[in-house]
Amino acid sequence: MKNTLVMKFGGTSVGGAQAIAQAVAIIRGERGAWQNLVVVTSAMSGVTNLLLETAQRAARGEMEGIAAAENRLRDGHFSAAEALLSEEPARRLLTAELGALIASFGELCRAMAVLGEASPRALDAVASLGERLSARLLAAALTAAGVAAQAVEASQLIVTDRNFQNAHPDFAASAVKIHQRLNPLLEQEQIPVVTGFIGATPEGAVTTLGRGGSDYSAAILGALLPADDVWIWTDVDGVMTADPRLVAEARTLPEITYSEIAELAFYGAKVLHPKTVRPVVDAGIGLRICNTFNPAHPGTRLVANPPAEKVTGRQVARAVTAIRSQRLVTIEGRGMLGVPGVAARAFGAVASTGTSVPLITQASSEQSICFAVPIEAFEQVLRALEAVFAVELRERDIDRIWSTPEVSIVTVVGAGMRSTPGVAGQIFSQLGRRGVNVLAIAQGSSEVSISLVVNSAETETAVKSLHELVG
């Protein structure tokens, strides 16, 4: 018998009674193979969006949506409880717990309406309710199926800073709490069903780890228990060579390296949260991505080194992904040449807006810097840059600060690209044959990926074209 497995189920994997029943079957199937099982759950699909949108509207004084949201939450969760729990006392107890959480959501929204604001701390309190509902429902379903389980709030396990809505965990403090809370349950052969996505400050205020953070929660628990393996259960058969909605020929990769998945997760592949990889790598534990609705499929296994297949020619690239809805911002001017600190001031201005920059490129002439920002942030970023460089713009040391129309970042990923001559040539030749214009290019020193900026309208053509290079 193997020792410890952490399994995380995403929103679609707990999206209703049928999906939860499938998750229960998967957990029961692994119960005999592992000494310890820990389950992490997301909120039901769509619930977190409903919670946050309702709270934000309430803060603007739009209170009419609160009761409707409460009803939607009750309908979704109560109907699942009705289908999954046949015994009336257990069902009554569960619906009472779920009802109390839903009522607290309504109270929080009404308080925001009175105050006329939704602080990051208050939004985290609201957003956490989806996972708290889901964990209770899944734990009750497991218990009803004869598997001893208990819902556990991750706010009792994961200690974070006070950076509400995108909190950073304190691994040392979290390790102490995880062992204190989970070890007794595991010793009693119970399965902890932990709320993904959330943590708490040392003072106990609920925080969240950023959208999609349940994967990260599973990685943190896996690293600190420590587990032998972390399995991420989702609604696809693993990591694919491209988005199947764009490329019909996309297929599942049986193995992928940590460096490759880190690039794919960062550059738009939704199958794994970008922060998930590091705790797993640092702890030296396994990670697998599986399909809840096709559990017989082996999924994708993450490995430390490239797969043993011969990497030649068309096998150099492993996958292609794209981030849409970006703008390319450029700072240009002959007065920038040789002037120290321009980049530092530029990115300091961007950071002051709370915006993340997914791609940066600069010509060796030092007469321009360009970088991508999400489309919803570009106006705020431009204003910040114009304020920081007001003197240089007035004196014409900087000619202009401007942005392109909407663009996409298309990224080709493959560990086999490292030190392989001619990869960039293949990529540009492929795009040239399809008439795709490349606006900017960036490659990290790891040589695991090459990122290209293309016009938004050419995204699908670029991805399909470059997927032909995938071996």
**Alpha carbon of residue 222 to chain centroid:** 17
Count how many residues are written for the chain: 471
**32 within a domain of the structure (yes/no):** yes
Q: Residue 116 is which amino acid?
A: G
CATH, residue 12: 3.40.1160.10
Bridge partners of 441, per DSSP, are 452
**409 within a domain of the structure (yes/no):** no
Bridge partners of 372, per DSSP, are 328, 359
**Alpha carbon of residue 410 to chain centroid:** 18
Output the pLDDT for position 365. 56
150, 139 contact by CB (below 8 A): yes
One-letter-per-residue 3-state SS of the chain: CEEEEEEEECCHHHCCHHHHHHHHHHHHHHHCCEEEEEEEECCCCCHHHHHHHHHHHHHCCCCHHHHHHHHHHHHHHHHHHHHHCCCHHHHHHHHHHHHHHHHHHHHHHHHHHHHCCCCHHHHHHHHCHHHHHHHHHHHHHHHHCCCCEEEECHHHCCEECCCCCCCCECHHHHHHHHHHHHHHHHHCCCEEEEECCEEECCCCCEEECCCCCHHHHHHHHHHHCCCCEEEEEECCCCCECCCCCCCCCCCECCEEEHHHHHHHHHCCCCCCCHHHHHHHHHHCCEEEEEECCCCCCCCEEEECCCCCCCCCHHHCECEEEEEEEEEEEEEECHHHCCCCCHHHHHHHHHHHCCCCCCEEEECCCCCEEEEEEEHHHHHHHHHHHHHHCHHHHHCCCCCEEEECCCEEEEEEECHHHCCCCCHHHHHHHHHHHCCCCEEEEEECCCCCEEEEEEEHHHHHHHHHHHHCCEC
Structural tokens at position 452: 């290209």
State how far the Cα of 228 lies from the Cα of 285, in Å rounded to an integer: 6
**467 within a domain of the structure (yes/no):** no
321, 328 contact by CB (below 8 A): no
Enclosing domain of residue 7: 2-235
Structural tokens at position 66: 């609160």
**160 within a domain of the structure (yes/no):** yes
**383 within a domain of the structure (yes/no):** no
**330 within a domain of the structure (yes/no):** no
Overall number of domains in the chain: 1
Give residues with Cβ within 8 angstroms of 344, minimum separation 6. none
Give residues with Cβ within 8 angstroms of 93, minimum separation 6. none
Helix 17-31, helix 129-144: angle, nearest 10: 60
Output the pLDDT for position 200. 98
Give, for all 471 residues of the chain, the pLDDT tens digit: 689 999 999 999 999 999 999 999 999 999 999 999 999 999 999 999 999 999 999 999 999 899 999 999 999 999 999 999 999 999 999 999 999 999 999 999 999 999 999 999 999 999 999 999 999 999 999 999 999 999 999 999 999 999 999 999 999 999 999 999 999 999 999 999 999 999 999 999 999 998 888 999 999 999 999 999 999 999 989 998 998 888 999 999 999 888 888 788 776 566 787 788 889 989 989 999 999 999 999 999 988 766 555 444 445 688 999 999 999 999 998 777 767 788 899 999 999 998 989 999 876 656 889 999 999 999 999 999 999 999 989 988 899 999 999 999 999 998 877 767 788 888 999 999 999 999 999 886 567 889 999 999 999 999 999 999 886
CA distances 353 to 274, 296, 349, 357, Å, are 21, 46, 7, 11
**21 within a domain of the structure (yes/no):** yes
**Alpha carbon of residue 444 to chain centroid:** 22
Output the pLDDT for position 337. 73
State how far the Cα of 46 lies from the Cα of 27, in Å rounded to an integer: 23
**384 within a domain of the structure (yes/no):** no
Structural tokens at position 167: 């909190």
Phi, psi of 229 (to 5 degrees): -150, 150
Cβ burial, residue 284 (10 Å; 0-12/13-18/19+):
exposed
Bridge partners of 276, per DSSP, are none
Structural tokens at position 32: 């005999």
Output the pLDDT for position 149. 98
Nearest-10 Cα torsion for 168, 192, 212, 68:
-120
b/e per residue, 18-51, with b = 16+ CB within 10 A?
Answer: ebbebbbebbeebbeebebbbbbbbbbbebbebb
Nearest residue to 369 via CA among 326, 325, 403: 403
Output the pLDDT for position 336. 76
Output the pLDDT for position 243. 87
Structural tokens at position 403: 């942005």
Output the pLDDT for position 262. 79
What pTM does this model have?
0.86
CB atoms closer than 10 angstroms to residue 412: 30
Output the pLDDT for position 465. 94
Give residues with Cβ within 8 angstroms of 366, minimum separation 6. 336, 337, 338
